[in-house]
A = this chain, B = another copy of it.
Amino acid sequence: MSREHFDVARFPELNMPPRILMGPGPSTINPRVLRAMTTRVVGHLDPEFLRLMDRVQALLRYAFETENPLTIPISGTGSAAMEAAVANMVAPGDPVLVCVNGYFGLRIADMARRYGGDVATIARPWGEVFTPDEVEAALAQRPARVVAIVHAETSTGALQPLDEIARVVHAHDAILIVDAVTSLGGVPVRVDAVDIDVCYSGSQKCLSCPPGPSPITLGPRAVAKLEQRAAPVPNWYLDLTMVGKYWGQERTYHHTAPISAIYAFYEALRIVAAEGLENRWERHRRNAQLLWDGLEGLGLKLHVPLEHRLPTLTTVRVPDGVDEAAIRRRLLDEYNIEIGGGLGELRGTTWRIGLMGFSSRLENVVLLLSALDRLLH
């Protein structure tokens, strides 16, 4: 391939279909956020960029409802933030308890083992949540230094209550890691009020930012554990003792920050703050209720009981005799609507419908319900 042979037909101009993203993420991105990425790129040590980093951190603390100084976007998508939590908190040999009631609990356990954690798990059926007593019993039987749990299981649509569990974990002198990938900006996370030690999320769910920088925050117990590590964090890129110095007062170069992605992230967080968290939660609740009522009105069954149902991601049981993949394909091809299939244990038996961030809109709910009605009946 040379200049003469570059084939525009083979590598055409980018031209993507106008999808309405109602799957497990990414959600539809606010056009303001896309536009922010056309802003000229400056250097990662430019004084203007450093100023922007401070603003991003302030807005991110608002979104997490925390005063934690170490509150930053990781330069990778959600799973990189998960790995940052695990790599920095789990030292080789550390006993770790992972609560597994879905795909992402399994992923945390996998990561914790890779970092040398002595991992035990407790399990609940996919779609259910853990009680504080279950965590208490597990820790009484086998103490752990780190406990990890998923706040909003993207694979099941269950919302895990955390307040009591945080107290249990701290009574056992352990660090609590919480996965808030599908909750931050859509349902209350309240890092300081709940007393979560490490909380991480993704940008492409309820924050409606393109997948890229992924928020993480570390509280005082987590920072103390980080500072007391005997050996370096075995993951260089995600080593928060170094990344934290770039985002902190030192401004020491670590890796080149993803400048344009941080521009988008800033704009997405400004939109969150301008709407206000309370208004945002209420919008997500309202549209979820409309979706749930509508789905039940179509005769569909929801997988998670109302009490623990996540407003941002709904799992729906596929009716007997329906080809779930064919319906998803028709939604995409005919209506430009993306919904998700089931993941892991729920593969083939459920759909996953996301109403996150910019995608959580009345018009999306009504359109999807009408489209499903036409395709199913």
Contacts and interface: CB of A to CB of B under 8 A. Distances in A.
A195 B350 CA distance: 48
Interface stretch (A37-45, A93-101, A127-135): A37-45
B1 A62 contact: yes
Given A19-B40, A46-B19, A46-B332, A210 B26 contact: no
A83 interface: yes
* Main SS class of interface, A: loop
Interface of A: 1-4, 6, 10-11, 14-19, 21, 23, 25-26, 28-29, 31, 34-44, 46-49, 52, 55, 58-59, 62, 75-80, 83, 107, 110-111, 114-115, 202, 204, 210-212, 232-238, 253-261, 263-264, 266-267, 270, 273-279, 332, 338, 343
Given A115-B234, A211-B257, A77 B79 contact: no
Given A11-B59, A16-B40, A48-B17, A34 B260 contact: yes
A261 B14 contact: no
Contact of A3 (B31, B52, B77, B279): B279
State the number of copies, please. Answer: 2
B16 A275 contact: no
Nearest to A208: B41
Contacts of A2: 276-278
A34 B338 CA distance: 26
B17 A210 contact: no
B211 A44 contact: yes
A17 B52 CA distance: 12
Contacts of A256: 25-26, 77-79, 202, 204, 211
21 contacts: A3-B275, A6-B276, A11-B59, A14-B52, A15-B39, A16-B40, A17-B42, A18-B40, A19-B46, A21-B41, A21-B42, A28-B40, A41-B211, A44-B211, A114-B234, A210-B258, A210-B260, A211-B258, A211-B260, A212-B261, A253-B343
A324 to B, nearest CB: 15
B236 A234 contact: no
User: Which residue of A237, A267, A270 has the most chain B CB atoms within 10 A of its CB atom?
Assistant: A237
